[in-house]
Chain A
């Protein structure tokens, strides 16, 4: 929709230009989808020309401005099998169509911090680490710590997300993916990702909860151990209560899918 209060676009924009009333602009599919009456200036990052995905020895670096389509189409690091298995599934978990993938960015999805954000699920499950830039300097923060609540992040005013790095160690184990929604191809109400890390298991819970939760096990736990750990890690009030699914149902599906993932990855 038209953002009538916007009077200027800075393109490309860089860190240090932000002032109150500014909004960092990725693809724009989030920003332009809701009224933004407090925004007077757009700081365009998409024009910065950052390389969408870079494969390093130590892992994959995804620019915040990498579009969902670029991520889905990336084939440059076949050895990172876990990434490729999960990237397609997570892109498909978007409520939005492939037309939105052409424009929406990975960074935009993280910074919007919606429970259903599938790029949050992907990068959290793969132990992603965010590079954050601010005038005072840069810092690094895990994806699971970037998103602090429904629509809330750890970003300071004026701070921007530059990239997410997925460490190589997280990109080769077997994975399992489960998504639940009120509707076929609908918005995620529950999105769980399991990953074998050596002998261990990492379970990432998103969509059902107001922020990502991660459970790490040294080995594959027994069913009861997993269920108990889930109860201990995710407090009851962390389950989202909104129009996209009742909290009790989300909690039930979380437990059900966690067990399915455990069983699948134990084989």
Chain B
């Protein structure tokens, strides 16, 4: 048991470290390292533009999507090399946020189901950040129940005509392409009538509308499709096989090892170490200490769980299912920590201005943003189902709509 790199890993790390030191945009280092919670915003620069410049530089140096094959814009690196790269990229990794959905989900799906022409045309530009991709899965009537989606695609000659609406689409407003799942046959049970496509987001009939979120920010979008034409060669997988294709996409989402999820704990520990209350420092209060200790062991437990996964990768093994716990644990922690940090300040804890509030208003922001961490990318409840079914082997839920033609499934609760 050790934390040491193998000689090959150490060599790769040193190469990566040197490259980052020579090429990273150091003018953003401080700003990036401070924006640990919530979304990344740069005070005087557009996040997407700065991100694109960094991504382009990485692509030129052979450090973009580095676990992808070389011919598609990658480096042909091993999974453990990708983890090492992420560690060395450090705070600059936050600049990759606009490209994560493309790299993590859309790209792998195109790689698995796209034609050779499509792969050579789209993947290198995705890798270099020249073209940004978004994922168009969720709908008003299909969130956790993705297969309940209603966006229709109808075949007309060599094209498909798409009508419908998607929702919760991160980055749709700056994306060039989208991975789109549609219903092509409503007369068969819901999982069987789906088909996957990709499309140009500038196609006629695509309308992107930002959603104002509960935290006041606008990061997600609604995307409306009105008679949008998609050529058949942009179909991924067979007609009616969209559900299986989407499973590839989602599996890639969950395999992203080493992507550090914020728990809020380091910030909370620092906050409690410095906050003076009427009874002394917050960290000297027994109730606070007990909560801090419980959060501390959750945070360290997650860290060392990811180390176990990295060790498996290092040995060429597939990491086990223990990684599915990351978002479930960290999402709840963020919310609990934010609530308690504000509680410690009494009535003043509700104030949000930078000047009035200790710790730069970060806990208030965390409180307002944390509900999304427990919903996006699989709700807490869906994640528990996944753990129960895939890890513990418990039976799936009994599905009353499984064998019913999609157009016969009830659409209203009462």
Partners in one complex: no
